[in-house]
Structure 1
Amino acid sequence: MINIFKRNIKIKIISICFAFFAWIYVMAEVDPILIKDFNNVAVKITNIDVLQDSNMVIDPKSNLNVKVMLRGRRSLLKDIQKSNLNIYGKFENIKLGENELDLNIDVPNNVTYTIIPDKLVLNVEENMYVRKYIELDKINKLKEDFKISNMNINPEYTYVEGPRSLVKKVDRLVCKVNLKNKFKNFNAKIQIVPLDKYGKKVEGVNIKDKYAYVSVEVLKTKEVPLKINLTGDLDENYKLLGYELEPKNITISGPNEYIDNIKELYVEDFDISGLNEDKSVDLKINIPEKIQTEIKKVNLKINVSKIISKNFIISKNRIVFKGDIHNLDISKNNLPDNIKVKVAYLEDLEEKIKEEDIQLFINMQENEGNHAKFKIKYSMPYDVENVEIEPKYVVIE
């Protein structure tokens, strides 16, 4: 009996060992031990409210991702995905500057893990909150002959929040308004962009209002001539030489339906009565309703000259007979010995006109109905206002 029992013990031990190795073999084949890697797994900070309470913020350039390696049976790892990994850390004795964060992970029993790195070094800064006005930057151009009259933005300002070092970089807040081929009023919802002094976008700051609402008033432009009505009359002995408006043309702007109907604009009337010298005066432009112009006044320059009358005595011997005399005896005429000539001229000729400048002549080809009656004419090297000759005619017998 004892021998039989001993033989059974040996058989049992052998059976147990065989079963153990068989189990190991089966487990190795059916449920093997695996290593599973996860990259860029986000770390959660469990006491992030401590930062907020202390008016602090993590430098946005800080890397809050780690690599995780899990080791365990296939049956334990098969349902673990990156999305359900819970890696967390907690600030201890938080301060401005560098802070170490020890990391932990929740995994099933019999699963081992490695976190790379096993702790994070995070830079903590003061959280800054400042108000800034929003500027409008125009990009591209309106359709030709149109211009912007007014631009409104709502809100006019907003707040920039973030790490002090980054908020300090924000030079201005900008909405970029695209004007390409616009020719009428328009509204737009435009993103607010923080820019540094070099015009580059500042990343890592928060803008309280992400967008602004911009309204743009667009007007048509047109160049038109200016005109004036001169009223009254100069005194008899004065002459209006001319006048000039400066500028002669102006650019106006307004709604299409108004601009298209305007061909010219008038300035206020000017009375020249009693004017006896050159005049320069500023006058208002008569600007219609709904029409805009940067120029509100123009300058009117008026040139006036006094007319001087002077009498000259010309000997009849200086009269020249031109053309075919038709067998007439020109010596037999009714001319007096001296011809009276009254010349009216502008005052700037006062020192120039001399008696010898006046040439009297008779064109024998031009009789006055009567073949023996001719008009006495004159020629001068200057333009004059009027010439009166006495007598006007000569009769040749």
Structure 2
Amino acid sequence: MNELLKRDLTLKIVSVFFAIFLWFVVLDSSNPVTWIELNVPLKIENESSLREKGIMIKNENFPRNVSVSLKGRKNTFNNIGLNDIEAIVDLSKVEDVNTQFLYVNVYTNKDGVSFQGVTPRVVEIELEKLGENPFPVKVVPTGKPKEGYKVVRSNAIPATVSIEAPDEIINSIGEVRAYVDVDNLSNDIIVNKECLVYNKEGEKIAELDKKISVDISIEIAKEVPIVPAVRGRPAKNYTDGIHRVVPEKAWISGSSEIIDQIDNLKTEPIDIDNISESMTKIVNLALPEGVRLVDTPRSVYVDVVIEELAEREFVFGKESIEFDNTARNNSFRYEVLDEIIKITLTGTRQELNKIAPESLRLSVDVNGLSEGEYKRPINVVLPDTVKLVENYDVKISVKRN
């Protein structure tokens, strides 16, 4: 009995192995094991890890594709595509700047497929140390602001930029510039501009083009004269002459709507009531709302010149008198009866000495006069700096032609 059971067990085991053998024979004939070659794009990963190590790739001539050899059943390869295979160079494997090659790693998400080989198996890399230094940004305005305006400040925000590049390029940098057009500008602006990097020979470094940008703040100011303001009147027989201010002009800034309307800047009033001598005062400028000073002190020096009035007499012949508003068609004849006409002017001696008698125009208004003799006031055209001591009359005769 036992012998029979042993023979049956042996027969069953042999039958199982024979069945498995037959299955492999059938499988190999209908779905054999095969090999394929695929041209797979090469991916570069973890490049940012190089910067953490102070390294950058000097030459990025990596192959764009690699040839991957795979093994598996024929049916498995019927629906395999490039999305199922990855060929990767992992830059995080770089140890230092002296690393010269890295392995190409191949990954697949297909079951029943095994990786057999890749060409090339390694890729050569050329590395160099990464330099990084802060460089100040030089702002270069181009063009001319609106007439009467100027650029008073131009700042880069931030004032310095950090440039990452190989040591060779970093060591060659001479200047970083940002150009800003200010042509016909009359108000402050903030604009974003790309920086241009130049070497020490003044040549532009093409490798760093369009890699750096900063905000540029441009401050524009308008130049206006400072006008001293006074209140009150000097003592009797005295006058206030020229008011000198130091500085004579101010630079102001603010919104263009306000600044465009301002033609001068006045000081706070200086009291000259009943004074009889010159003086120098330090006074503040009176700033309109929304206006600020640029490169100009808030307090200025004002010289108030107080001068004693002088008098000067001028003598004219009657032929010097002109007639205003005479009758039409020359129907009347006009004549001054006084042979000599004297007038006295008062003002500062300096201003009186400037006046030439021939520069004064004396006239009489004869509008509406008929025949007869009249006493009429003399009109004298005078500079603003002098006055008549009193009003003067002249005798005239009017006769019909």
* TM score, norm. by length of structure 2: 0.47
Larger Rg: 1
